[in-house]
Structure 1
Amino acid sequence: MLDVAAIGQIIREERKELGLRQDELAAASGVGLRFLVELERGKPTVQMGKVLDVLAALGCQIQIKRPGAMAIAGQVDKPKKDKAE
């Protein structure tokens, strides 16, 4: 089972594999550098929406498995703003 520290480690590894600096990934994700640093360090109180933004910028997918059910996998996409809003 994943925890925040494991997710942060995965994000750090993917960022490095892509050759991105923390400030570059933060800018591409629309989050602050401090947030990304704390996320990679496994801070337990990070905001889920921002985590999803970082994962989307990396092109990562997440998978959720409900007890007794099939896994639900999906590409993490940034929500699209409706122009009518």
Structure 2
Amino acid sequence: MPTIQTTNQLGTALRTARKQLGLTQPQLALAAGVGTRFIVDLEAGKPTVRLEHVLRVIDALGGELQLGGLPDAVPEDAASRAADLCN
């Protein structure tokens, strides 16, 4: 799994996946429910694309987004109980 640290790297990774699947930009746009212009901008590394649409594209390509290096998420109710114990 590639490590992605820039919008250009994300665009390149998604373009590579699209091409490996044999999809055109319009076909991917249709499958993801976004416009072709969005796919063009995303693959070009535009830094201001909508995250919701990026997630749709990743899903349409059969991928998933994972975050590494972050602390594990604690359910909100457990976090509030832990805070109460400290007070």
How does the TM-score come out when normalised to structure 2?
Answer: 0.74
- Larger Rg computed on CA atoms: 2
Aligned residues: 69
Long gaps (5+) in structure 2 = 73-87
**2:15 is equivalent to residue 12 of structure 1:** yes
Structure with greater strand percent: 1
**2:51 is equivalent to residue 26 of structure 1:** no
**2:42 is equivalent to residue 42 of structure 1:** no
Other-structure match for 1:73: none
The CA deviation at 1:40 is 0.1
| Structure 1: 4+ residue segments shifted above 6 A | none
How does the TM-score come out when normalised to structure 1?
Answer: 0.75
Q: What RMSD in Å do the two structures reach over aligned CA positions?
A: 1.3
Structure with greater helix percent: 2
Percent identity between the two aligned chains: 45
Long gaps (5+) in structure 1 = 71-85
